[in-house]
Structure 1
Amino acid sequence: MQYHAVLKKMKTELNDEVQYYLDVENDFLNLNQLLDKEIEFSFEGYQCLCCGKEKKIFRQGFCYECFYKSAAVGDWIMKPELSTAHLGIEDRDLEFEQGVQLKPHIVYLALSSNVKVGVTRKTQIPTRWIDQGATKAIEIVEVPNRYLAGITEVALKDHVADKTSWQKMLKNEVSDADLIEEREKLKSFIPEEAQDYFLANNGKITEMNYPVLKYPTKIKTLNLEKAHVYSGKLKGIKGQYLLFEDNTVFNVRNSEGYKVIITIK
């Protein structure tokens, strides 16, 4: 069975086991059903996810020109504290920025390799946690805009990590931690502007179980742009990674905008 696709990050659904779907040829391929099957990826070229042109991908699925013009990849995406839509100040496209920044945002703790603090729009929970390969997560504050979430994250990351060790996450080397206890430790460090948004009554921990038959013991990353063709037996899916029997891992999200042929053997 063969599919043509322009790679985009896998869509997910939180059930007893996280379900993964890949956008292919106006359809969705359920990847959970492909565990223990041989899959071949063949690199065919590029297609910018913004302008749709067959131009070399620069970052995040965008060509060079779109990456530096599109409002969807402004600096405030990676650094929420730089958000200015709440002040009516435009970065690249104020209407777009207001549509994203002026929505409820969550600052959270997630456990993927270690405990980390992060920010996401409320509508992106639990998608954001799954994309990071978190096994557990808990909300800290819910604020009305991205700026408040950003300054809260900046304050808290002086006391807890804001990065995940992706290698440990993929090997399932996850530290043990009480997220409720960790959240309480951080409460006093929340900026004054966001203190009233602390979710005092939220003790709910969300757990994620991933479809993995075997975790890699060593990590070999697949760069389709260099390899052009790769074939391997799928043994698991975690975060935005496909895990193969030979310890090869493929970061689908890092390959957005790549045109590929996927062959299920």
Structure 2
Amino acid sequence: MIDTPLIAGIHDKAAKKIGWRRANMVRTLLSEVFRYNIPKGLVSANFAKDVIPKRRPRDRAYANRPWTIEERDAVLGKAKPHVRVALALMMNTGLDPSDALRLRKDQVDDGTIWGVRGKTGEEVAIPVSPTLQAALDRMPNHKAETVLSNSRGEAWTYNGFSTVWHRFKTALEKEGLIEKGLTLKGLRHTVATTLREAGLDERRIADLLGQKTPSMARHYSRSANLADKNRETMATLEEENRRRAESVKPSQKSVKPDRNEDQP
């Protein structure tokens, strides 16, 4: 006989065998199967509906955790020029690493980054903040069509930048300047978290990060309107980052920029 206690037992066994996340996926799948078959008269109820989803273990580290302000300063202070500007771009826009590395020079116009999020196809219009503009102004000259380039003046590949980042991050961990768990995607989480803690609502944050439902009818003018609203959002991010940086004790901001122009 199929009933809720039976489904709960299956859910518990799945959690022990394949983990809490996949067990919850099994619960969701069964719930959809029951929901689909109720109108057909094949089952009398959704027996998975009242099964409580498994919670994430408290001791499990979150993937792509937000960076602390001290970690941000340490990374930017030690990074080589071509790496530093790439991190600054991700840090001050919330762009996904792959989108940031692919960003073309012709996508930056009139103080705004115009692009499409590769994962969703969603248009983004991100104003260039003063902090980001200062970082871009220090970008070594290169002939690549992308905004960013490696030390040879060529466009970064995702694997190439990831390799450089991993080597660089590992060295900083050994020096005790950052904690383990820093990821490039974590910079998107950092932007979202900073803005949320500053009081902005989730809709405005989603607009900045390109998390709307894709729409083929969206036109350039609509993105322009979005850019106007996002300027206020970016101003909040800029001010909150400045406030947090000023709140850090001087002894915690002792890392000086590495003047070596070579890549890590």
Scaled by the length of structure 1, the TM-score of the pair is 0.26
Which structure is higher in helix share? Answer: 2
Q: Which has the higher contact order (CA 8 A, sep 6+)?
A: 1
